[in-house]
């Protein structure tokens, strides 16, 4: 028997009158898979919703991570800038400190050099004063002294009168008034330069200052006295310039000859 359109219409009418039969009819007409399809769709929709939520959470987590990375990058850049600035400031401070220390070292070196110079100058002055005080023993008699002594100064002034009258004014290195010691026996006059270490300048001053007195007609002999020669060639220069000497334990022939001159008895003494 065939199922007609009228039968379908009757079936629809009956189902409307009895809606509870619809579920039973669906179970008859539909397979289990098709019958479970709505439930499966709901589950799929729920899974999709959960996935969407998870993706949104992951997206938000990624956004926060990127934001944190950006923040850390900015903080690192700021820290590096601050570190570079502090390093530059520290380097500048170190450079300034090094400069200060170098200046202090230079000043200390100059101070030490000045102290050595002062010590050498004082030692030289003390040695010069000892030579002047011992002159009568060193030269085995005679008289004289520093040009600062009034009696020696007057005698030098008398000897130099002729040159002054001629308008001849000796310069510093030529002026016997600046010699360390003037000593004489009779007509022989020593023009003496005294130094712990006798150098070329001592030789030249003694020679030039004796030359000045020789121009004035005085029988002047240049002499250097010291503890040692500044260099071996200085002794050769003294011999070349005909400058007599007493250096250390050594004495030149001219120095020995002056010592041998007789000591004159005089009632007039040189003023001190």
Q: How far apart (Å, rounded) are the C-alpha atoms in residues 190 and 257?
A: 12
Q: What is the pLDDT along the chain (272 residues), one digit of tens a residue?
A: 666 767 777 777 887 787 777 777 766 666 666 666 677 778 778 877 887 888 888 888 888 888 888 888 888 888 888 888 888 888 888 888 888 888 887 887 887 777 776 777 788 889 999 999 999 999 999 999 999 999 999 999 999 999 999 888 899 999 999 999 999 999 999 999 999 999 999 999 999 999 999 999 999 999 999 999 999 999 999 999 999 999 999 999 999 999 999 976 544 444 44
- Cα–Cα distances (Å) from 249 to 185, 226, 253, in that order, read 23, 10, 13
- Cα–Cα distances (Å) from 88 to 82, 171, 205, 269, in that order, read 10, 59, 59, 78
What the chain holds in terms of domains, given with CATH numbers, is 8-71 (no CATH), 136-260 (3.40.1350)
- Cα–Cα distances (Å) from 96 to 40, 84, 126, 131, in that order, read 81, 18, 44, 51
Beta bridge partners of 226: 247
Residues counted in the chain: 272
């Amino acid at each position: 028997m065939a199922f007609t359109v009228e039968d379908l219409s009757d079936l629809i009418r009956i189902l409307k009158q009895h809606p509870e039969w619809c579920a039973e009819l669906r179970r008859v007409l539909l397979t289990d898979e098709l019958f479970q399809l709505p439930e499966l769709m709901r589950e799929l929709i729920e899974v999709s919703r959960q996935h969407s939520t998870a993706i949104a959470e992951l997206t938000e987590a990624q956004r926060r991570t990127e934001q944190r990375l950006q923040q850390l990058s900015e903080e690192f850049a700021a820290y590096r800038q601050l570190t570079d600035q502090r390093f530059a400031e520290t380097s500048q401070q170190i450079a300034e400190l090094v400069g200060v220390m170098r200046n202090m070292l230079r000043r200390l070196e100059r101070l030490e050099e000045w102290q050595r110079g002062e010590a050498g100058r004082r030692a030289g002055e003390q040695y010069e004063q000892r030579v002047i005080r011992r002159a009568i023993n060193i030269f085995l008699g005679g008289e004289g002294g520093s040009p600062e002594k009034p009696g020696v100064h007057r005698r030098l002034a008398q000897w130099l009168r002729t040159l002054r009258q001629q308008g001849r004014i000796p310069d510093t290195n030529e002026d016997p008034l600046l010699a360390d010691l003037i000593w004489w026996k009779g007509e022989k006059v020593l023009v003496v330069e005294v130094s712990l270490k006798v150098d070329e300048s001592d030789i030249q001053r003694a020679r030039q200052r004796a030359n000045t007195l020789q121009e004035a007609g005085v029988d002047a002999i240049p002499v250097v006295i010291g503890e040692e020669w500044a260099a071996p060639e200085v002794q050769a220069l003294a011999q070349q310039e005909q400058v007599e000497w007493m250096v250390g334990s050594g004495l030149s022939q001219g120095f020995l000859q002056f010592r041998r001159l007789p000591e004159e008895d005089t009632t007039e003494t040189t003023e001190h």
